[in-house]
Structure 1
Amino acid sequence: DQVFYFSRVVGMTISRFESTFPVLPHVCELSAILGPGHYEEPTWVHSAQEFVDILQCKFPALALLSMQATVESSSNPPLLDIIRTLRDRGVRVMVTGVKTTSGRVKKKNILESLRAAGIELGDGC
């Protein structure tokens, strides 16, 4: 079964996700787009561990996360730390795409660091 969630805003802050998104206890596979910030919360304010805590609270059976990432810097979002934390907690992560939004970080460098960490990359990378 597939579950789709529609938000009335373009994107969603982690704080809004935490306060309004329902708990979906049976979802074990999730596709998500992770980005650097949002007009309501322009900088990434949560640590990787805090983000993973929130994600696992909403999806307690999560076993596989397929993610596209839009990266502004190494800490916005803290992509590598998020993936490591998820893996440490037994969640398989596949990065299916990476985009960068600024000249401060290059897509090639992000992909190299993900490969060096043994992160699974999909065909879109």
Structure 2
Amino acid sequence: MSLGADGPSDPSTADTLRVRSQVRGPCLLVAAEGELTILTADLLREHVLAGMRGLTPPPRVVLDVGEVGFCDSSGLNALIVIWKAAHQAGGEFVLARPERRFRAIIERSGLDRHLIAHPTTEQALDALAAH
């Protein structure tokens, strides 16, 4: 979902996030679609952390954010928590398909020094599978 400067045109889609995951080789691939906000950040964080517990260590997680239209500070915090959990377990957490707007948020926050982003999901999976 892409949002304009004024936000979503349909208020029923505001502050919704759909999250689904699948295991691909040694990696957990999580796809998020919607808005990553104070109202949805807990959903993403808990979904990913639960998925990580089901992986053979070390956890390797790809978060596909190509369909995330907005991310606020609570969303950034959820990404930090996931990144820290993966690294504390000796694993990796990377992003896939961040759109220009999402990349700008990551860069402005300084998180781009920690959160590696790949242009495609397949590139992200390949990078983690090689570790």
What TM-score, normalized to structure 2? 0.49
- The answer to whether structure 1 residue 63 and structure 2 residue 62 are counterparts is no
Out of 33, 45, 51, the position equivalent to 2:31 is 33
Give the corresponding residue for 2:40: 43
Cα offset for 1:46? Answer: 5.1
- The answer to whether structure 1 residue 74 and structure 2 residue 76 are counterparts is no
Where do 5+ consecutive residues of structure 1 fail to align? 1-10
Where do 5+ consecutive residues of structure 2 fail to align? 1-16, 121-131
Decide whether the 8 Å contact of 1:52 with 1:82 is kept in 2: yes
The number of aligned residues is: 97
What TM-score, normalized to structure 1? 0.51
Decide whether the 8 Å contact of 2:58 with 2:89 is kept in 1: no
Decide whether the 8 Å contact of 1:36 with 1:44 is kept in 2: no
Percent identity of the aligned residues? 11
Q: Which has the higher helix share?
A: 2
Decide whether the 8 Å contact of 2:57 with 2:91 is kept in 1: no
Q: Which has the higher strand share?
A: 2
What is the RMSD of the two structures over their aligned residues, measured on CA atoms? 3.8
